[in-house]
């Protein structure tokens, strides 16, 4: 020891420390990803019960009762009931439907250092949402699910359960104002789904100041303004929201869809780019970028993105289908046929089953298709 120089000894200790920390971090990261893939696979195979096995019901129940302003001693009996009745896996499977998919994207950390799993949820109609699955370590040192945050509504699963409890058991929430506001937040989303946007505004106006400041209620109000076509008020609400939550992902996802539906492609693209930056990138958002450019009559930019995605085998089927639509607009029936035959082989379906004849009449009337038929 006396022959070792102090500086060399300290450097050696530091290297060993870093190696140990990296090994520990890698182990934790590996465990994260194992759990993420397990959940992904369970949803894919329609087995929601596997997902439910990984919920930390004690932590989840605490989160529910914090929203009800209850003390820790008052929630323990509910943990067992939640374990029997909450079916998170089935809820996710139901949301996706028969034509959608649920895909693990990456492990991310929120600003507080909370480890989350990011998932992309697509419904059969192309409707997009992201979910952050919040993780905690259980008493065995294993990762488990503490809660789920749904981007599009700005709502946690624990929020939903707290509202259901307030609805089903009036005595559980002694504060009548709190209970009233909880139930009204439920109504906001119901009104929007039914297109009753004026009712959404009325319900929001009657909330307590605390609930008016929450993400989910403010997002619901903005959706109502968008549904009414009141862009002036929507922009004011959006600006105020971003002052309070400058790095929020939910509003970027929601506004990307709203702007796109209003043919405001410049702003839709901006929201897409900001969302991508905030989540650290997702290849699927590049596909959405190409869709925006195509709708924006910027086919050359869309084509560049799609060809790069196809080359990288990133969403190869979806990328080719979008490229087929682009070629149809360009009347490039040769390129269209080439991509269609590749997709046909990939999905094991006839070209006519992939592209309905009544939607692409010019292609089916073209010499390229007619020669192929012969």
Enumerate the H helices of the chain as residue ranges: 6-44, 48-52, 57-67, 76-85, 88-96, 157-168, 176-193, 197-205, 209-212, 215-227, 231-244, 250-261, 265-279, 283-295, 299-311, 316-330, 333-347, 351-354, 361-365, 367-373
CA dist., res. 14 & res. 26, Å (int): 18
Q: In what order do the strands lie in the sheet with 101-109?
A: 101-109, 115-122, 128-137, 143-150, 155-156
State the pLDDT at residue 4: 38
**pLDDT per position as a tens digit, 290-324:** 999 999 999 999 999 999 999 999 999 999 999 99
- Token pair for residue 133? 């699955």
CA dist., res. 26 & res. 81, Å (int): 36
**pLDDT per position as a tens digit, 204-238:** 999 999 999 999 999 999 999 999 999 999 999 99
Half-sphere exposure (CA, 13 Å, Cβ side) for 199?
A: 13
- Token pair for residue 131? 């979910």
Among 216, 187, 213, 215, smallest CA distance to 202 is for: 187
State the pLDDT at residue 29: 53
What parts of the chain have a pLDDT lower than 70?
1-30, 72-74, 373-374
**Which residue's structure tokens are 């959404």?**
200
Three-point CA angle 319, 321, 327, nearest 5°? 100
CA dist., res. 265 & res. 268, Å (int): 5
């Amino acid at each position: 020891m006396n022959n070792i120089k102090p500086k060399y000894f300290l450097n050696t200790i530091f290297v060993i420390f870093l190696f140990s920390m990296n090994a520990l971090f890698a182990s934790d990261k590996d465990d994260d990803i194992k759990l993420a893939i397990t959940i992904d696979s369970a949803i894919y195979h329609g087995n929601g019960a596997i997902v439910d096995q990984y919920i930390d019901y004690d932590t989840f129940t605490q989160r529910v009762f914090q929203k009800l302003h209850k003390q820790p001693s008052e929630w323990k009996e509910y943990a067992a009931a939640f374990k029997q009745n909450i079916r998170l896996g089935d809820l996710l499977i139901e949301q996706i439907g028969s034509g959608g998919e649920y895909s693990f994207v990456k492990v991310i950390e929120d600003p507080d250092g909370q480890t989350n799993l990011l998932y992309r949820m697509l419904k059969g109609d192309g409707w997009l949402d992201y979910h952050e699955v919040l993780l905690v370590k259980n008493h065995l040192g294993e990762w488990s699910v503490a809660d789920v945050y749904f981007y599009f509504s700005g709502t946690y699963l624990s929020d939903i359960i707290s509202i259901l409890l307030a609805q089903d058991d009036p005595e559980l929430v002694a504060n009548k104002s709190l209970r009233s506001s909880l139930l009204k937040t439920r109504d906001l989303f119901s009104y929007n789904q039914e297109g009753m946007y004026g009712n959404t505004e009325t319900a929001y106006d009657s909330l307590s100041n605390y609930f008016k400041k929450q993400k989910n209620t403010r997002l619901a109000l903005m959706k109502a303004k968008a549904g009414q076509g009141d862009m002036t008020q929507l922009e004011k609400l959006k600006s105020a929201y971003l002052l309070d939550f400058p790095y929020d992902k939910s509003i970027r996802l929601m506004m990307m869809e709203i702007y796109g539906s209003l043919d405001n492609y410049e702003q839709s693209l901006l929201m897409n780019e900001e969302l991508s930056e905030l989540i650290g990138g997702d290849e699927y958002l590049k596909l959405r970028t190409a869709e925006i450019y195509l709708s924006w009559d910027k086919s050359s930019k869309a084509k560049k993105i799609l060809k790069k995605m196809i080359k990288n085998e990133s969403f190869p089927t979806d990328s080719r289908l979008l490229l087929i639509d682009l070629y149809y607009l360009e009347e490039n029936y040769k390129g269209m046929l080439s991509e269609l035959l590749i997709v046909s082989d990939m999905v094991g379906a006839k070209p006519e089953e992939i592209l309905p004849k009544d939607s692409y009449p010019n292609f089916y009337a073209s010499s390229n298709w007619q020669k192929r038929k012969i």
